Amino acid sequence: MRLQSPYPNPPSINSEEPINAFNALFNRPVQKEWKDFTLHVDAVTGKDLSYSGFKDRLQDAITVLGSPVESGGLGLGGAPEVAEDGTVNGEVREMVGLMSENSSVCCAIAKIRSVLIVDKDYVLLMNALLATATPYALIAFYATPFELRHALKLIRVTRLFVQAKLLPVVLPVAREAGISPDRIYLIDHGSGHRTLPDMIADVQKHEMPRVDVRLVRKNTLAYLVFSSGTTGLPKAAMMTHGNVYASITQLATMQTSLANPPPPPASPPVILAFLPMHHAYGLAAYCQRAFIARATWVIMGRWNPVDAVRLIEKYKVTQLPLVPSMMHQLINLDHPNLKEAMGSIRSAVAGAAYASDELQAKFKERVSSNLVFAVGFGMTELVCAAMQQPASGLCLKPDSRPLPDTKGEGSVGILTAGIEAKVLREDGSEAGVDEPGELYLKGPLVCAGYWENPAANAETFAVDSEGRWMRTGDMFRGNNDGVLFYADRKKDTLKISGSQVSPVEIENALLAHPKKLVGDVAVAGVAGQDGEKVPRAWVVLSAEGKRIGPTRTIEELNGWHKEALSRYKWLRGGFQVLDELPKSETGKTLRRKLVEDYERDVKAKAKL
């Protein structure tokens, strides 16, 4: 099955056209008409920063990064270009690693502009590197020494900008990687290393000549973002200036193509920012698309549900980007007046993992029945979402054709502008309407490939007469209206007695128990007695499940799922009750860890 986006295609970029994605983010004509507004609020200190203050400081950061060393700068730049097959052309002169919790330049600005008290400069730094055409890599702030060692070795980092409190982890590994201490800088304040705030202060003090945005071509490497590593060691996806530029023009195209766009808000919406900025979802939402329209972002260093509710109430947050695991935590939070505390929320969008209709309904019931909820679909390999559910009732120019109805169990919406898709059977033939198959995507949002990983590039990307396609590894089905429905992650799908079994289908059945006994659940295949993989469920009890106890809950779930599902889908691997499911920082359930822990326990018991 082939699917096209109902939106018009965004303007294409010629391969020789001089661009820099920074200009799409910060130098659009409409931004000159904006009244100044509060851009960022630091969740810990309460300090805020205006948009104009951010732009001024951003220009100073560009100057210190891009100026020659003899002029007091770092002399950065020289990003290479990436070929269509994912190979990097030319020498990689610099690769800057960034490692910090979420942060912005929330600061107190005195009347004399050079006096600033700055917390951390993460959002500013990555955009300044973009402007100077310096490739950078986003490294998880919670990386262990083993994970950091792999990252530094893989991408051959030449310099590091880190948060001061991460130095005990970073310094020994950086020493092993041959990164000298004078090439390790602090994003915030500290001693023993040059700090970005001090460097920017020097620009202001010495009135250094400002550095212009450097123009490059669309296939120039912008940054690396690591995959979640659910299938092995993390891979580094290469995002180009063309990718980032396309994500901005795509959104503008979708907005201007509407015949009946929603009226602009009377004041900038307030959005809680807690997803990690080193991850594709947080990066796109907070560090790139955050500058599409006027909005105030309350920035949390890391997620904590109790703090999140307090901040929502304090700052009257109106929008909430979410992942399913965080939805579960908020639903089950012991809070006496959650609806009242979160009453300012008007809309929420879920990504990173699939949020079922059941979960959405629970969230709306617990938070606000008037909440407008939507889901989207993206991947690390996409600079932003390839699918999303538009608001109901929207129509397209010129004939006011309505966008498709995207509601329904499993729906992740329609393709965004410029994206094409096909759904293929296992034998490579096209699936029919409403028939599940593996999803392939094509368009300017798809990354240039994996950094120095030809095997992964060959497995994931394929070029044919129609262009370059990416295999998502996800199972979807599409209907006649072009709406896509999530079926399962292909690698998680089990084959039992010749029939495919979807863990997501079993999870949804357990969540649908009429007594609402389950707060969270994961299903995965474990080794059965005959060597065949059989499904096993790990469940977190809801309040009602805890009330009746784990033994009775399992009895109820066992009977319920056998009534709801065909025999070959039954949980022959059994049940296990956990206090919580292991999750990645972005909210994905770590099924592999559950299986490994279970199989380790089985082996240990077998030795007794």
pLDDT at residue 118 in the model: 35
Q: pLDDT for 520-559, tens place per residue? A: 999 999 987 656 789 999 999 999 999 999 999 999 999 9
Strand ranges inside 245-357, DSSP E: 270-273, 296-299, 319-322, 347-350
- Those residues with Cβ within 8 angstroms of residue 350's Cβ, 6 or more apart along the chain or in another chain: 322, 323, 324, 327, 360, 373, 374, 375, 376
Say if 2-11+242-488 and 493-606 have the same CATH topology. Answer: no
Mean pLDDT of 505-533: 87
What's the pTM? 0.84
**CATH architecture, domain defined by 493-606:** 2-Layer Sandwich (3.30)
**CATH architecture, domain defined by 2-11+242-488:** 3-Layer(aba) Sandwich (3.40)
C-alpha 97/C-alpha 135 separation (Å) is 9
Which pLDDT band, with edges at 50, 70 and 90, does 400 fall under? very high
pLDDT at residue 106 in the model: 52
- Chain centroid, CA 288 distance in Å: 12
Residue 252, CB-side half-sphere exposure with 13 Å CA sphere: 16
Higher pLDDT pick, 418 / 289 = 418
Given this structure, which CATH class describes domain 47-67+92-212? alpha beta
Q: pLDDT for 325-336, tens place per residue? A: 788 889 888 899
What is the enclosing helix (H) or strand (E) of 202?
helix 196-206
Q: pLDDT for 126-139, tens place per residue? A: 999 999 999 999 99
> What residue spans define the domains of the chain?
2-11+242-488, 47-67+92-212, 493-606
Separation in Å, CA 244 to CA 223, 445, 470: 10, 8, 17
Mean pLDDT of 405-416: 90
pLDDT at residue 230 in the model: 45
